[in-house]
Amino acid sequence: MKQVVVLGATGSIGLSTLDVLKRHADRFSLHTITAYRSVDKMLELILAYEPVQAIMACPDAAEQLASRLPTESPTRILGGEQALVDAASDSDVDVVMAAIVGFAGLRPTLAAAEHGKRLLLANKEALVSAGRVFMEATRSGGATLLPIDSEHNAMFQCIPANNRGRPETAGVEKILLTASGGPFRGRPRSELLGVTPEQACAHPNWSMGRKISVDSATLLNKGLELAEACWLFDCTPGDIDVVVHPQSIIHSLVRYDDGSVLAQLGNPDMRTPIAYGLSWPERIDAGVAPLDLVSVAKLDFEAPDLEAFPCLRLAQEAITQPGGMCILNAANEIAVAAFLAGGLGFTGIDNVIAHALENVSADEPDNLEAVEALDGRARACAQERIEQLEHDTRGV
């Protein structure tokens, strides 16, 4: 029996993970689930799954949850960020699903890496921000890092196992990172000025949390994924081409020196990569409907529009700048939160990121504290820029 921690259990990836685990109760046992402060959802999950522990990152929410838990429940309630780190490091635990959204997931995810867990990585912001620090923790801790992001999971499936750290020695000529193009694909920038959070979050193929949905709409998500692929497969941005594929059926491809191209296909359902991460190198049922190619009928491809969606270009540049992806990620988190709250326009997101990349100077952070300090400086810079833009639009 593998003991599993699901960080971010109440989210989109977290719930899909619980669904896959439920189908394989003979192999996996739920040790810990965590959430930020959604008490109602957490209570439902505790009653349905009876994990050993349930942790609310927000201590007040933990108190509320404890007061509502039936006395006969076997689940222990804990609160606070350290409890997340402790769960991810617990010697009883084998598998950690890192599915907290954003930089907030870095500490517990890193703890799982340092303690040699099978680490299922959905939380790309943690890897992209901490970069070398994260990869070094994975190596020294002896963790098994398995990508859950659908594109990276596809690449992982298409690159031979003995060459995953060094694709060039496997005869890999190019990695092709697919992008759906998001809900605004095909629109010129002038039409993006007034789009609303609801429109941005209405992804055509995937049902996801609001932050990653906005990232998909700006193509910033593809920029994070470019950096993610560079770390996971030890390559450079020049080794990777982004190709827009609106149907999200091909999850990425690998082109070899001999002209062969291997792709991984499947319905757009995150339970496929989650199940593969849980069972690798075996395969288990994920509850996903078989792919029906006749009903899909057509697979289209086009180049990304970097004029309308400059966030991808900003990321391509940031990858080459010391600490650039940490700055980009932090500025994006602040900008997306402001956009979702109605305090920043959609095209303001890339403006804020570009401003932070220009104005925050950095060396490549080489430890967690340096990563956190850089993240903090970039957030402050982004916040100032948002206030300035708001001030300008009000004309005062």
Q: Distance between terminal CA atoms of the chain? A: 63
Provide the minimum distance between the beta carbon of 212 and ligand NAD in the complex, in angstroms, as a whole number: 4
Closest residue by beta carbon to ligand NAD: 11
The contact mask relative to ligand NAD for 199-228 (x = CB under 6 A, - = no) is -------x-xx-xx----------------
Stretch that binds Mg ion, among 13-21, 150-158, 173-181, 345-353 (CB under 5 A): 150-158
User: 16-55: which residues touch ligand NAD (CB under 6 A)?
Assistant: 35-36, 38
Site residues for Mg ion, 151-190, by CB under 5 A, read 151
Interface with ligand NAD, residue 348, by CB under 6 A:
no
Backbone angles phi, psi at 204, to 5 degrees: -65, -30
Evaluate whether 98 touches 126 at the Cβ level (below 8 Å): yes
Q: Closer CB to ligand NAD, residue 149 or residue 305? A: 149
Cβ 58 to ligand NAD shortest distance, Å: 8
> Which one among 3, 5, 8, 216 touches ligand NAD, defined by CB under 6 A?
8
Complex with Mg ion: residue 64 or 150, whichever CB lies closer? 150
Query: Does residue 269 belong to the site contacting Mg ion (CB under 5 A)?
Result: no
Closest CA to 94 of 179, 24, 28, 15: 28
Token output for 249: 């059926």
Q: Which residue has the tokens 């709250």?
A: 341
- Partner whose footprint covers residue 128, from Mg ion, ligand NAD, none (CB < 5 to 8 Å by kind): none
The amino acid present at 253, given as its one-letter code, is: L
What is the spatial distance between Cα 144 and Cα 289, in angstroms, rounded to a whole number? 28
Applying CB under 5 A, among 94, 114, 149, 305 the residue interacting with Mg ion is 149
Rounded CA-CA distance 192/207 in Å is 21
| Helix intervals (H) in the chain | 12-22, 39-49, 59-68, 81-89, 106-114, 124-141, 150-158, 197-200, 210-218, 220-232, 271-279, 293-296, 311-318, 324-340, 348-359, 368-394
| 146 near ligand NAD (CB under 6 A) | no
325 near ligand NAD (CB under 6 A): no
Using CB under 5 A, which of the segments 40-48, 54-62, 144-152, 249-257 binds Mg ion?
A: 144-152
Contacts of 148 (CB under 8 A, 6+ apart): 13, 97, 99, 120, 121, 122, 270, 273, 274, 277
Site string for ligand NAD, 87-126 (x = CB under 6 A): ------------xxx--x-----------------xxxx-
In the complex, the residues that contact Mg ion under the rule CB under 5 A are 149-151
